[in-house]
Amino acid sequence: MNLVLIGFMGSGKTSVGKLLSRSLSMPLIDTDSLVEERLGLTIPEAFSRLGEERFREEESRVIEEVAAGDGQIISCGGGAVLRADNLERLKRNGKVFYLRISAEEACRRLDERDDRPLLAQGEDRLERAQRLLQAREPLYMEAADEVIDAEGKAPEELTDEVARLWKGSG
Ligand code: S3P
The C-alpha atoms of residue 12 and residue 85 are separated, in whole angstroms, by: 24
Residue 118, CB-side half-sphere exposure with 13 Å CA sphere:
19
pTM for this entry: 0.97
Q: Would you state the pLDDT for residue 166? A: 97
Residue nearest to atom 2 of ligand 1 (CA): 78
* 2-162 classified as CATH 3.40.50.300: yes
Which has more confidence, 40 or 120? 40
Give the pLDDT mean for 116-145: 93
> Can you give the residue ranges of every domain in the chain?
2-162
- Per this entry, what is the length of the chain? 170
> What stretch of H or E contains 165?
helix 155-169
Residue ranges lining ligand 1, Cβ < 6 Å: 9, 13, 32, 43, 77-79, 116-118
pLDDT band, very low/low/confident/very high, at 170 (cuts 50, 70, 90): low
Which has more confidence, 78 or 170? 78
Angle between helices 52-67 and 31-39 (to 10 degrees): 120
The C-alpha atoms of residue 12 and residue 23 are separated, in whole angstroms, by: 16
